[in-house]
Structure 1
């Protein structure tokens, strides 16, 4: 079910700059269900929550020619709250740690 939508999404964004059609094609319930089924949902507050990590992995698959940093910048996922309630860019190590923590199971 999700695989067909991802193929369609990849065709949609290959040369596009507007990702809204892809976000609309992927139901949020699928992401929540994938995290729930694999016990990967974020219980504590993380710098990059599990839901955002799933989107990161999906977009990395759709935009293989871009780095993690570039994908996050295009999705505005690269923002995290600081203790002072200010926003700043997430360090690349946070993105890598988040992807590693998520594992491939939710997307398999």
Structure 2
């Protein structure tokens, strides 16, 4: 029963040993796939974090630019700013603070 290039398993121990090898390889494959899945999920969450961080950084830069603008000293610029603010939002959403009302009444 000698086939060229193929090892024939003749005993129960040989079959059991080969079965155990296959099961061990499959178990290792499953463990590695769990690790890979975890890495992919971590990468996915990191991409969302980076997107949110970039958006937050842009928002902060916009606010810093507005805060450092010297045009607030000119009352006509305040009226333009408040007018554009009210045009860009729903009138029900436009809520002025007490300081904004005083500046508008000017």
Q: TM-score range by the shorter chain?
A: under 0.3
- The answer to which structure, 1 or 2, has the higher relative contact order (CA under 8 A, 6+ apart) is 1
* TM-score, reference length from structure 2: 0.23
Greater per-residue strand proportion:
1
* TM-score, reference length from structure 1: 0.23
- Largest Rg, 1 or 2: 2
